[in-house]
């Protein structure tokens, strides 16, 4: 699934909009990781334990968001954003959200076509004016 932070996808025509989709998780830090991160923060530098938790959380919410978009019939997400919030002392909410759309790559000769969209259109067997 194609996911972009922009409102449009260069070289693509958006034929349908399915609405907002999101993925959400609330995570708590384990006590051991929190203690190690607290000690490491005294010396400065990256907190590897917390970085790993955040990375995994973002992957999880992205997967949930794309699954919702696919379930609605979307093949792309535009205007994707991340949002985070802290709840209590140990909980973090991570959310990914965007707009599920059906995007059609523009073929050679169509206004706005890009080299990438032409390749995608050829691979999908599309012609100007037709859905893949």
**What is the CATH number for 104?**
3.30.110.70
* Cross-sheet strand order for the sheet of 2-3: 2-3, 76-87, 91-105, 12-28
pLDDT at 44: 67
Q: Give the total number of structural domains in the chain.
A: 1
Interval 103-125 mean pLDDT: 92
Say if 82 falls within a structural domain.
yes
* pLDDT of 124 higher than 90: no
pLDDT in tens, 12-56: 999 999 999 999 999 876 655 556 656 656 666 777 777 888 889
Say if 132 falls within a structural domain.
no
What pTM did the predictor assign?
A: 0.80
């Amino acid at each position: 699934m194609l996911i972009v932070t922009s409102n449009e996808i260069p070289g693509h025509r958006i034929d349908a909009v399915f609405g907002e989709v999101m993925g959400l998780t609330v995570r708590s830090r384990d006590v051991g990781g929190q203690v190690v991160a607290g000690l490491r923060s005294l010396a400065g530098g990256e907190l590897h334990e917390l970085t790993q938790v955040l990375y995994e959380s973002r992957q999880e919410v992205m997967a949930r968001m794309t699954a919702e978009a696919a379930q609605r019939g979307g093949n792309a997400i535009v205007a994707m954003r991340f949002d985070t919030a802290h709840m209590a002392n140990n909980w973090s909410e991570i959310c990914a959200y965007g707009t599920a759309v059906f995007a059609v790559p523009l073929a050679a000769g169509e206004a706005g076509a890009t080299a990438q969209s032409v390749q995608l259109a050829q691979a999908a067997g599309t012609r100007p004016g037709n859905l893949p």
